[in-house]
Amino acid sequence: MKELRLMKGNEAIAEGAIRCGCDGYFGYPITPQSEILEHLMAEKPYEKTGMVVLQAESEVASINMVYGGGAVGKKVMTTSSSPGVSLMQEGLSYIAGAEIPALCVNVVRGGPGLGTIQPSQADYFQTVKGGGHGDYRLITLAPASVQEMYDFVELGFDLAFKYRNPVMILSDGIIGQVMEKVEVGDYKPRWTDEYIAETFPWAATGKPKKRDHNIVTSLQLESAKQEKVNLRLQAKYKECEANEVRYETIQCEDADYILVAYGSSARICQKVLQLAREEGIKVGLIRPITLWPFPKQIIHDIGIKAKGILSVEMNAGQMIEDVMLAVECKVPVKHYGRFGGIVPTPSEILQALKNF
């Protein structure tokens, strides 16, 4: 049965984890996402579903606990905010290299460095271009509502296990802190050890007599073998690009100008659409839901018919590069953004659109 709750985005992440049958959470508190760990500690899922909730000694420890949990086929996750996620980059690269399913949430705050605790989208490059080393990709989901914070936890785990790849939920301080209506689902049971051993033949679930050891590692000393690993990864990423692109389009049919924005910027842009149309300016919005794989095709198809595209991001212009590639620079693409934790107002975005 569906139940209606008023929740913060951060609480919705925690609740989504408990209810989708997550096996373990490992994290370290940091603003603006501390409510995730707080909600988990208050709900005590270890008494309800048996889910482990552990405050690790650091973000480096958290991500490596996730590595271990994922390697044995458990649904495990961690969450943090920008500076903490920077510390996790080595672990994420190892997890991607070892092809371990895992979920990480970044409730982004302003940077660089310790920066500020206010909302930002300045970790786009880090997330979709590979913040760690090596040719790897993170499947990246960008929630724009508290409901999506809840829903994307289960979706994230589904994708992580489907592709044996880490998934990142790239949120920010607004979506983490805002309270909205959320429909929460029933509690799903956690997977049994038998189910995991049967369903994930790669997982390190203990060696039965009938097969060799399962080795989960990102280390290959022979380059020929490592090239094969890379080719397999690239084939997997191609498949992912073909099947997992998600986006939303709003009022693009008759639009002269197109805004491209994700997450909380996309919410602010919906207000801009309303204000612009009241003044007779026809504007539409494309909201990428997956940032990798990026919705290139739809941005190309809609974008090339427009007079111009404005990429609205709470950063100095990061996603704009992918938008420009998508439209092959056939139409003018500009950027509007604020940095360091300042949230752009609908009026100033409208002004940027008028100045296009």
How far apart are the C-alpha atoms of 165 and 181, rounded to whole Å? 31
Distance CA 195, CA 70 (A): 15
- Distance between terminal CA atoms of the chain? 48
**Segment 196 to 225, residues that bind another protein, using CB under 8 A:** none
343 makes contact with another protein (CB under 8 A): yes
Token code pair at residue 77? 């996750």
* One of 13, 76, 273, 333 touching another protein (CB under 8 A): 273
Please report whether residue 341 would count as binding another protein according to CB under 8 A.
Answer: yes
Binder to another protein among 53, 128, 268, 291 (CB under 8 A)? 268
Other beta carbons within 10 angstroms of residue 12's beta carbon come to 30
16, two tokens: 């989504």
Which amino acid makes up residue 10?
A: N
- Is 270 a binding residue for another protein by CB under 8 A? The answer is yes
Find the binder of another protein among 162, 236, 267, 282 (CB under 8 A). 267
CB of residue 344 to another protein, shortest distance in Å: 9
In the complex, what is the shortest distance from the CB of residue 26 to another protein, in angstroms, rounded to a whole number?
24
Q: Does 271 interact with another protein (rule: CB under 8 A)?
A: yes
Candidate ranges 89-97, 112-120, 122-130, 292-300; the one touching another protein (CB under 8 A) = 112-120
* Pairwise CA distance, residues 21 & 23, whole Å: 6
158 binds another protein, rule: CB under 8 A: no
The Cα–Cα gap between 9 and 108 comes to 13
Which region, left, alpha or beta, applies to residue 88 given φ > 0 means left and ψ of -120 to 50 means alpha? alpha
Stretch 226-265 residues interacting with another protein (CB under 8 A):
264
Is residue 38 within the footprint of another protein (CB under 8 A)? Answer: no
- Is there binding between residue 173 and another protein (CB under 8 A)? yes
Smallest Cα–Cα separation from 38: which of 144, 176, 168? 176
CA–CA dist 337, 295 (Å, integer)? 21
Cβ nearer to another protein, comparing 246 with 267 = 267
Taking CB under 8 A as the criterion, the residue among 180, 244, 248, 321 binding another protein is 180
Dihedrals φ, ψ of 11, to 5°?
Answer: -65, -35
Residue from 274, 301, 307, 328 touching another protein (CB under 8 A): that is 274
Is position 31 an interface residue for another protein (rule: CB under 8 A)?
A: yes
- The smaller minimum CB distance to another protein, of residues 199 and 347, is found at 347
DSSP-assigned beta bridge partners for residue 77: 25, 103
Which residue in 177, 205, 290, 318 binds another protein (CB under 8 A)? 177
Compare residues 185 and 346 and give the one whose CB is closer to another protein: 346
Q: Is 267 or 282 the residue whose CB approaches another protein more closely?
A: 267
345 binds another protein (CB under 8 A): yes
Contact in structure between 264 and 313 (CB atoms under 8 Å): no
State the CB neighbour count (10 A cutoff) for residue 228: 12
120 binding another protein? (CB under 8 A) = no
- List phi, psi (to 5°) of 163: -105, 0
Alpha carbons 305 and 13: distance in angstroms, whole number? 38
Range in contact with another protein (rule: CB under 8 A) among 65-73, 128-136, 171-179, 331-339: 171-179
Could you tell me if 102 and 70 are in contact, meaning their C-beta atoms sit under 8 angstroms apart?
A: yes
| Number of residues located near another protein, criterion CB under 8 A | 27
Residues that bind another protein in the complex, under the rule CB under 8 A: 4, 6, 31-32, 116-118, 173-174, 177-181, 264, 267-271, 273-274, 341, 343, 345-347
